[in-house]
Each structure stands twice: as C-alpha cells, then as structure tokens.
Structure 1
Amino acid sequence: MRYSMFGQTGHRVSALGFGAMNLPGVPFEQADAALNYALDHGINYIDTAAGYRNSEEIIGQSISHRRSEYFLATKTNKRDYASAKEEIERSLVRMKTDVIDLLQIHYVNYVDDYKAAMAENGAYQAALEMKAAGKVRFIGITGHRPELLTKWVAKGQFDQVLFHLNLAQPFALDELIPTLTKMGMGKVAMKPLSGGFIQPVEKAIRYPYSQDVNVIISGMVSVDEVKQNLAAMELEVEAEERQELEQLAQQLGAHNCRRCNYCSCPIGVTIPDIMISSQIRNTFGLLPKGLGFYEKQKESIMSCADYEPCKEKPLCEQKCPYHLPMQKVVQETAVSYYK
C-alpha cells in the first residue's frame, strides 16, 4: 500500500480509502467484516457522510474500538450554522468518537450554496467552532464543479478537496489538482468506477492511482471488493501504462459532463449518467450496475424524442453550464442501446 503525507495535516494516509456510502445496503455482519479487513490490510482512510443513511452508525459499531488506526472523514450538506453544528455533533455520537479528523462541507456545486455555507451564520462557521473545540481537526469541501472548486479554495480556508477523478471524468487534472498541489492541500479522488459504470475495475482504479492524488475513495461493501481494490494497487503505474490510461481517459471523457446535476429532465432521464456512460458503453460495455440503470431508465430514454416541450429547445440544455448536446446523446442512446 502506498502512503503519502495528507496535505499539511501531518497525517500519512493510504492511497486507497474505504468509501462507506453503500454499507447501509448490506447486512451488518458483511459491512463489519469489510471494514475490519480493510484496516487489517493497511487502509487507514475511512470516508462517510451524515447523509449516507446509517453509514456513520455502522462505522461506530464496527471499528470505533480501533479508532487510533484510521483517519476519519465525514461530511455535512447543511448550509446554515445551526443545522451543520447539530449534524456534526450527531456524527460524533453515531461514530462513537471524540473527534472527526476531516469534516467536509458537502456537495457544493452552486455559487449560492457556497456563499450560504461560507456566510457569517453558515456551515463553515460551525465547522470552525467545532475545530476550536477540538471536535474537528481539519475542514474540507466536496463538489462536482472542478473549475469552481479551484476558485473557492484560493483563500486558503480549506485543508482538503474531494472531487471526481476517473477514466470518464478526468477534468480535475486541468486546474484543480495543480492548484491543490501548489497550495499543499489534501487531494481525494472519488468515484473511480463513476458510480458503477467503468470496467474493467482494475484499469478503472489504476487511472486515478497514476495521478497526483493522496487518496482514492472506492465504495466497498464486502471483503471480496476490498481484496479486488487492493489488488489493483499492488504495483505502481509505469510510464507505458500511464500513457495508455491517459489516452483512454481522453477518449472516455469526450462527453465533457462533470455530473454537476444542474440539468434536470422533466420526464426523469438521469442525464449525467447517460452522458458519462455513453463512451464507456461503446468501448467496454457496462458493469451489472450500469446495465441495471439502463433497464430502469428505458421508458424515460425512449420518450425523450417525443416530449413536445423540448422539441424546439431542450429544457435540460438550457441549464447546462457547459452547453453540452444532452438531448442528442440521449436520443442516440435510445436508438443504439435499445435497438
């Protein structure tokens, strides 16, 4: 396992982080075994959030007795002071710990959200207060807009950033990661499989592993998944493989969707998933989770071309900050995937 100094925190963290978002979906015994196996095999970064159902409670039940062995990161998606402080205090109780190593202001994609969180009575004030009280060690931010995150960290108010980085979403490499490196901040990449679309798994994980990040958060729910993720990181990425991965990322990232979720479809198409998986689907095919997504979305995708209010000017495209041809991709999917 590769370890690196996590920004300016003074902590050494494992390159593979345990993403606990999906643990509430499996039996407790399975989650408990996965978490403890991860710790036994060198993973020392645990990532969760107050909004991940009872994920924090599972962590508290499973590994709080091993608290000295891991760096604990959680999140609040509250924007006001009172709600954020209440949620942070609840997280401490749920995870059976006296201190949260990293508290992140979560899912900040809109300028208004950022302003609200950073205002005088915002969530950031609550995080600072909890830090002063010794209940939070470091403060970070998460989001899906790498160019906005780059601007928002410029004032030096955060210790870390959590961002997308995978073969289909390499966009953090442009400005965000170089900025974080220059500022000496913690760099955490999430969704190496892009939510269950990218395969093969080993290749998917080795791409962010080849980049300048401290931790790659991979969602794991079983001992077998932990083993699979660890195996993907056994060997360092050499120059030839890195070049191959870079070329593949350029190809799979051609859709240009950041998954900022500004777009919303009146007939229920989950547009970012269609956009991001479009190139993956054509190149590698889909993982079972991706196949399941397309089956669930079939009716909505097939209805896109017939939705009258969008025929002249697609409603989704009017909201996209990147001006992407979303309607065209959705309708092409309807023809090519379900033919």
Structure 2
Amino acid sequence: MSVSRRAVIAAAALAPLAPPLAWAADPLIRRPIPSTGEMLPAIGIGTSRRYEVEPTPDKVAPLKDAVQTFLSLGGSVIDTAPSYGTAEDVLGLVLAEPGLRQKIFLASKVDTTGREATLAEFERSLKRMKVEALDLVAVHNLIDVTENLAVLRDLKSRKRIRYVGVTVWRDNQLEALAEVMKRETLDFIQVNYAIDNREAAERVIPLAADRGMAVMTNVPFGRDRLFKAVQGKELPAVAKDLGCASWPQFFLKYVLGNPAVTCPIPGMAKASYVEDNLGAARGRLPDPAQRKQMEAFIDAV
C-alpha cells in the first residue's frame, strides 16, 4: 500500500459508513466470459509491481496470505506477465500449495516477436509458475499482434491455454486496440479504465460488448493517482448509498458499474487490501445516475 492509500483509508475509518466486512454475507458478483458463458468473480489480482519481490520465503509470505484470503472470499482471477520482473516466479511459489492451482483463473501474456520466441516465452512462463497450462494468455501491448495471436490460437487448439486476448494500458493505444478488435475474434481485452480516466469506456469497452469480448481493466486506482486526489477528503453521500466503506471500494464500484466490464485487477499485496477491495464486488453497484454523481465528485477534486 502506498502512503497515500494508507492515509485515505485511515481518514475514511474515522467515520465508517458500514461495519467492517458488513458486505461479507453478500454473494460475490460474478460476470460471464461472453465467448463461453463461464462465470468469473468480478475482481481479480493484478501482479504488476506488487508481486515483483525477491522470490524468498519471507518476501513471498504476505503475498501467499493475500492469495489465500482472496480465494477464501471467493476470488479466482490472477493476472501476470513475463515482463513483470519476478512476479511469475513468485506466483510459482504461491501456487505450490496443494490444490491451489485448480482454484485460480490464471492469466499471463506474451510480449516478444516471432513464433519461436513467443513459444519459448510461453514455455518459460509455465516453468516459472510451475503449471502445465494457463487459462488466458494475451498479447501484451499489441506487440507483433497478428503473429502472436496466431501462435496463441494454436496453443488454444492444443489445450495449452483456454482463452486468447490482447492488452493495452495507455490511452494512446486505444485506437490501435479498436482496430484489432474489429478484425480479430478475441475472448478478452485488457484496458486501462478508472473513474478519472474514462476514455476506454467511450472508445473500446462498448465495442467489446458488441463483439462478445470479456473486459479486464487495469490501473483502476490510476497507479495511486486517485488516492492522492482524495487524500484528506470524506467519502461523498453517494458512497453511503452504495455501501462503500472505503475509497478503494468507491473507485472499484464505479468501474464495475459499467456492465460491460468483466473484472478489474487491482494490485493486492496484503490480506487487508484483498478484504477491502473485494467489498466492491458485493452488494449494490451504481446505476447510471449515481455514476454521474461519482464522476462529478472526482472531476471537482
């Protein structure tokens, strides 16, 4: 957790809007993967930065605790990439626990060029995570996208992976992403989307709904940009209406209020973050009018 996130959560705790874990009795919201109908819990774990630690028992222990808490509360989606430093190695240690792999929807990426290099990268990811197959592999940042999608579809036909997708994380990639989405058949896209960064909701998320593609969203807190913006501020009245007990829940409920979003993937490196974030995927979600109120509040800070 960044200093700013600690600060905003502490401030909100001075006047809590809901009892701690009051949402825990509510079922976790689940959404379908359009291409198959498979249901996924509506919040996952992103491993960029947060899981890029030295792969030693002491460094990995809090991450194991976070993942165990995540699974116990109904989560399943974990997203990583070979370019995320040691994250895949760390997940290999986390997934070593007996029976754990079967509970996880495990996603990674490819980000190299050429068929042989991409296949080698895929096999290296399996080795690092100590698994035999992956649920989803996406072409990271549209790198060599046509050739890499061909490789991934071949892996899918051989049941080495179950789903194929593409990812971006910057607004200046959205036009290129839309072109790929129009010409390719994809199971998933992953795109940057937050309450203060809404361009994807205008340019590509509706297209994903039209094309039958699941939508993962990254950087839902804007790499802590949002926490800095609201530091020292009280949650607005609309947060109480939605049962939000913290700013992370407020930000995530906004993203999930878009029905075309399948699964945001915030970084969660401690069990307490997992408990807090998953609260956003239970209970009420904002309707269009409430989403406008949330946008107006953030736009004014």
Task: Give the structure-1-normalised TM-score.
Answer: 0.67
Q: Tell me if 1:161 matches 2:189.
A: yes
In 2: Cα distance, 1:241 partner to 1:117 partner: 38
What is the CA-CA distance between 1:191 and the residue it aligns to? 0.8
Q: Which of 123, 140, 154 is the equivalent residue of 1:106?
A: 140
What is the CA-CA distance between 1:130 and the residue it aligns to? 1.7
Q: Which of 35, 39, 43 is the equivalent residue of 1:8?
A: 35
Q: Tell me if 1:189 matches 2:217.
A: yes
In 2: Cα distance, 1:124 partner to 1:211 partner: 27
Unaligned stretches of 5+ residues in structure 1: 253-282, 284-339
Check the 8 A contact 2:196/2:295 in 1, yes or no.
no
One-letter code aligned to 1:52? Y
Worse-matched range after superposition: 222-231 or 18-27: 18-27
In 1: Cα distance, 2:251 partner to 2:53 partner: 23
Q: Which of 71, 83, 91 is the equivalent residue of 1:39?
A: 71
What is the CA-CA distance between 1:170 and the residue it aligns to? 0.5
2:296 paired residue number:
247
What is the CA-CA distance between 1:66 and the residue it aligns to? 1.5
For the structure 1 residues 40 and 174, does the alpha-carbon distance in structure 2 shift closer, same or farther, using more than 3 Å as the test? Answer: same
Check the 8 A contact 1:162/1:190 in 2, yes or no.
yes
2:249 paired residue number:
202
- Say which one has the larger Rg: 1
One-letter code aligned to 1:218? P
Q: Which of 198, 207, 232 is the equivalent residue of 2:280?
A: 232
Q: Which of 160, 174, 180 is the equivalent residue of 1:135?
A: 160
In 2: Cα distance, 1:76 partner to 1:198 partner: 29
Check the 8 A contact 2:53/2:86 in 1, yes or no.
no
Deviations 1:47-74 (A, max 9, x none): 1111111211222221353222121110
Matches within 5 A, 1:20-31: 20-21=47-48, 22-25=50-53, 27-31=59-63
What is the CA-CA distance between 1:34 and the residue it aligns to? 0.6
Check the 8 A contact 2:33/2:187 in 1, yes or no.
no
Q: Tell me if 1:85 matches 2:112.
A: no
Matches within 5 A, 1:266-277: none
For the structure 1 residues 97 and 10, does the alpha-carbon distance in structure 2 shift closer, same or farther, using more than 3 Å as the test? Answer: farther
Q: What is the RMSD computed on CA atoms of the aligned residues? A: 1.8
In 1: Cα distance, 2:179 partner to 2:186 partner: 12
Check the 8 A contact 1:167/1:248 in 2, yes or no.
no
In 2: Cα distance, 1:135 partner to 1:217 partner: 23
2:44 paired residue number:
17
In 1: Cα distance, 2:39 partner to 2:208 partner: 17
1:211 paired residue number:
258
Report the 3-state secondary structure (helix = DSSP H, G, I; strand = E; otherwise coil) of the residue aligned with 1:153.
Answer: helix
In 2: Cα distance, 1:126 partner to 1:76 partner: 10
In 1: Cα distance, 2:148 partner to 2:184 partner: 17
What is the CA-CA distance between 1:205 and the residue it aligns to? 1.6
2:205 paired residue number:
177
Deviations 1:196-250 (A, max 9, x none): 111332322221021120101111111011111012333222435322123346x
In 2: Cα distance, 1:202 partner to 1:10 partner: 26
In 2: Cα distance, 1:226 partner to 1:50 partner: 23
In 2: Cα distance, 1:9 partner to 1:63 partner: 26
For the structure 1 residues 237 and 10, does the alpha-carbon distance in structure 2 shift closer, same or farther, using more than 3 Å as the test? Answer: closer
Aligned residues: 243
